[in-house]
Amino acid sequence: MKDIKLEVSARHIHLTQEAVEILFGAGHTLTPKKELSQPGQFACEERVTIVGPKKNIERVSVLGPVRSACQVELAKSDCFALGIMGPIRESGDIEGTPGVELITETGSLTLDKGLIVAKRHVHMTPEDANEFGVKDKDIVSVEVESEGRKLIFGDTVVRVSDKFSLAMHIDTDEGNAANVGNGDGTKIRIIK
Ligand SMILES: [Zn+2]
């Protein structure tokens, strides 16, 4: 079996091109800073402040490329700090989710929806899915080895596309719960 890479996603924002121009100026395009594991995806130089009733969260990174809808992905602890609770949702499934205000030095934008806590998931290619004996949208459990906090994560969605590369994505709360960090090479395995 291939090793599955475990990646811990910090809070981040996806924007539309229209939102990029509202927040950073007419004609502005996102500035790639670092490539991510999923082909074509990148972290950007641009940062945004999320405005909450309890507290603002500053310097939140923007991930590119631009999408067809804005989406704010927070850990549950971020939601408590901000004062707005996002539901656990798969990326892109934002109907009926709370909106939130975003500000930068050059603009502001109020979203009417898009605040979520991302449902943990494993990205894989069709070949990987075949090897692991799973298919797109399957719900699996994943055992994560750890220094003192070994954990089995249930309710993990399998996402299959030839545009993906093999990696499990959890958020910072989930990483902390298992005492694992991004890129520390933790061993994980899918349990059916
Ligand atoms: Zn992902």
Split at pLDDT 50, 70, 90, the class of 183 is confident
CA of 121 to the centre of ligand 1 (A): 6
Question: What are phi and psi for residue 187, nearest 5 degrees?
Answer: -80, 130
Average pLDDT over residues 124-148: 97
Rounded distance between C-alpha atoms, residue 131 and residue 22, angstroms: 45
Show Cβ contacts of residue 130 under 8 Å, excluding neighbours closer than 6 positions.
Answer: none
CA of 137 to the centre of ligand 1 (A): 13
Q: What is the pLDDT of residues 76-85, one digit of tens each?
A: 999 999 999 9
CA of 180 to the centre of ligand 1 (A): 17
Q: What is the pLDDT of residue 192?
A: 76
Average pLDDT over residues 144-157: 96
CA of 57 to the centre of ligand 1 (A): 22
Q: Give the CATH architecture of domain 121-191.
A: Beta Barrel (2.40)
CA of 168 to the centre of ligand 1 (A): 7
What are the extents of the domains in the chain?
Answer: 11-118, 121-191
Q: What is the pLDDT of residue 184?
A: 83
Average pLDDT over residues 11-37: 98
CA of 157 to the centre of ligand 1 (A): 10
pLDDT mean across residues, the chain: 97
Rounded distance between C-alpha atoms, residue 129 and residue 114, angstroms: 29
Residue with token string 């310097």? 59
CB 84 within 8 A of CB 115: yes
Q: What is the pLDDT of residues 81-122, one digit of tens each?
A: 999 999 999 999 999 999 999 999 999 999 999 999 999 999
Rounded to two decimals, the pTM is: 0.95
